[in-house]
Amino acid sequence: MYRSLLLGCLALALSACNSTPAKPQKPELDTSFSMPVASAEGEIQSGLSGVQLEIWLDFQANELERALKQSGIQVSLSLESVRLLMPGQQSFSAGQNKIQSQFLPVLSSLAEVFTQYPNSSIVINGYTDSSGPANTNKQLSLKRAQAVATYLNKQGVAHNRLFVQGRGESSPLFSNTTAEGRMKNRRVELEVIPL
């Protein structure tokens, strides 16, 4: 009786096994970087809560601040993420989506931290000033966010962790009536969210 039951369980267990394991496939770079809709607001939600989330956020913010000393990137904490503000005057020229060469070492430092601590998603939001048509600005901001995501991916950050959004001229930090204000509004912000 026990022998029949044992053989039956063994046969059932073996039938669930695949005799030819699936060959892992190398993921290809997804240049579309479309933003998944994980909530009604379109935000990615953290899997951590309470004290766990606070500890993770403090640790990640400290690591990023250490890596980005004197880079010009501002690191701040929100309730559910670490936010990084990349100033426009350092990262992109007006009307351009090509990352300025002097900013590449800073992005490389970011990529190093992101690859060292892979349990997070990185939302990259691009912004512009209000010069030009709103639709053009929205497209430009998306291209800037994609440029940052592509660079981070080439530095080893997994593409499935990177999400981009083009925010255009929405949410200016400074007045667009001055050249300095417009320059500061041309920016990219990263939001690091624990998984």
Element (H, E) at 101: none
174: which residues sit within 8 A by CB, 6+ positions away? 180, 181, 182, 184, 185
- Of 183, 160, 59, 189, residue with least CA distance to 117: 59
Cα–Cα distance measured from residue 182 to residue 43, given in angstroms and rounded to the nearest whole number? 27
Q: Is the per-residue pLDDT at 187 higher than 50?
A: yes
CB atoms within 10 A of CB 116: 10
* Strand bridging mode 82-86 / 74-77: antiparallel
Q: Hey, what domains does the chain have and what are their CATH numbers?
A: 46-194 (3.30.1330.60)
Coil, helix or strand for 53?
Answer: helix
Using DSSP, how many helices (H) and how many strands (E) does the chain show? 6, 5
Task: Take residue 99 and report the two structure tokens written for it.
Answer: 């990352």
Give the pLDDT of residue 148: 95
47: which residues sit within 8 A by CB, 6+ positions away? 194, 195
CA-based angle 20:23:25, to the nearest 5?
A: 160
* Strand bridging mode 120-126 / 162-166: parallel
Cα–Cα distance measured from residue 165 to residue 172, given in angstroms and rounded to the nearest whole number? 15
In terms of pLDDT, which residue wins out, 28 or 172?
172
pLDDT tens, residue by residue, 117-135: 898 999 999 998 898 899 9
Give the pLDDT of residue 45: 52
pTM exceeds cut of 0.85: no
pLDDT tens, residue by residue, 56-97: 888 889 999 998 888 888 999 888 899 999 877 678 877 889
Instruction: Say if residues 97 and 154 touch (Cβ distance below 8 Å).
Output: no
